[in-house]
Structure 1
Amino acid sequence: MARLGYARVSSAEQDTALQIRDLEAAGCERIYRDHGVSGTRASRPELDRMLDRLSRGDEVIVWKPHRLGRNTRNLLELLNTFKAKGIKFRSLRDGITTDPDTELGGAMAKE
């Protein structure tokens, strides 16, 4: 069971430092970073690499949900995939979690 972080910024002028700092503080063992990659692009190499590595019991941690999903539909598809594969999800800034051991995550797991 691994804690994997994902950070993304859309342009070269932006910096992932704040996201990385918070992901490290959350205990991420490995952080995947897409720098200067728009969320609207279908291919995000580091996200794809992380998704290929995931296994049951892992936890994906992001700074905010929009760092992970291209749009709401894509984010929900990823969350459904995580649920089906037994992978937890947590968004640090929003307090969103799918960990069934938490009150919110337990409610989401019933859906």
Structure 2
Amino acid sequence: MTMYGYARVSSVDQDLSIQIEALKAAGCAAVRAEKKSGTSTDGRVELQIILDFLQPGDILAITRIDRLARSIGDLQDIVRSVRGKGASLRALEQPIDTSTAAGKAFLDMLGVFAEFETNLRRERQLEGIARAKAEGVYKGRRPSIDPAAVKELRARGLGGSEIAKQLGIGRASVYRVLGAA
């Protein structure tokens, strides 16, 4: 039986060190860490590596359940994957150990609350954006494409692919700008 740790934060300016130290102190043989959103499992390479690596009797350790998933669907998929490998899941700061019935029940409850928290945060964000738009303050994100530069390069005779390459944007974005002209 080997215990492996998984640490995650949502953004690049957040620090993983507290989670990593806690997982190592708990006896994890190895810790995989990444800076990716927990609202989806898409693109979470380190999580997939550790899930693929688990063997029967191993333990996947996390500090808290929200470090693993922010939706009940993703959480259940991860737990199924862990169980399918004959391994178990353990949260260091919460009474979760999927090798016990109580741990399984508590895991499901915390998963529901993690998803609820994500949904509340999204609602507050949308309310804030609506308020800012009403006050004329919200401008949206800054454009990442300079239409003038696209048109200038086109006027020089460059094709869509070459324009996209030079400006570091997608070809579809080039054609969107040229089509709007």
Q: Same fold (TM over 0.5)?
A: yes
Query: SS state of the match for residue 76, structure 2?
Result: helix
Counterpart CA distance in 2 for 1:33 and 1:39 is: 12
Q: How does 1:36-55 map to 2 (within 5 A)?
A: 37-41=36-40, 42-55=42-55
| 1:19-57 alpha-carbon deviations (Å, 9 max, x no partner) | 11110111000000002x111341111111111111111
Aligned length: 104
Corresponding residue for residue 31 of structure 2: 31
Which stretch shows the higher mean deviation, 84-93 or 22-31?
Answer: 84-93
Counterpart CA distance in 2 for 1:79 and 1:45 is: 17
Counterpart CA distance in 2 for 1:66 and 1:82 is: 16
Shift of 1:80: 2.1
Query: Is it true that 1:18 corresponds to 2:18 in the alignment?
Result: yes
| Structure 1 runs (4+) greater than 3 angstroms displaced | none
Counterpart CA distance in 1 for 2:18 and 2:73 is: 26
Corresponding residue for residue 9 of structure 1: 9
Q: Which has the higher strand share?
A: 1
Shift of 1:95: 1.8
Q: Please point out which of 79, 102, 106 is paired with 1:104.
A: 102
Question: Greater relative contact order (Cα 8 A, min sep 6): structure 1 or 2?
Answer: 1
TM norm structure 2: 0.53
One-letter amino acid matched to 2:93: R
Identity %: 38
Shift of 1:72: 1.2
| 1:1-34 alpha-carbon deviations (Å, 9 max, x no partner) | 2210000011111101111111011100000000
Corresponding residue for residue 75 of structure 2: 75
| 1:68-89 alpha-carbon deviations (Å, 9 max, x no partner) | 1241111112112222321011
Which structure has the greater CA radius of gyration?
2
TM norm structure 1: 0.83
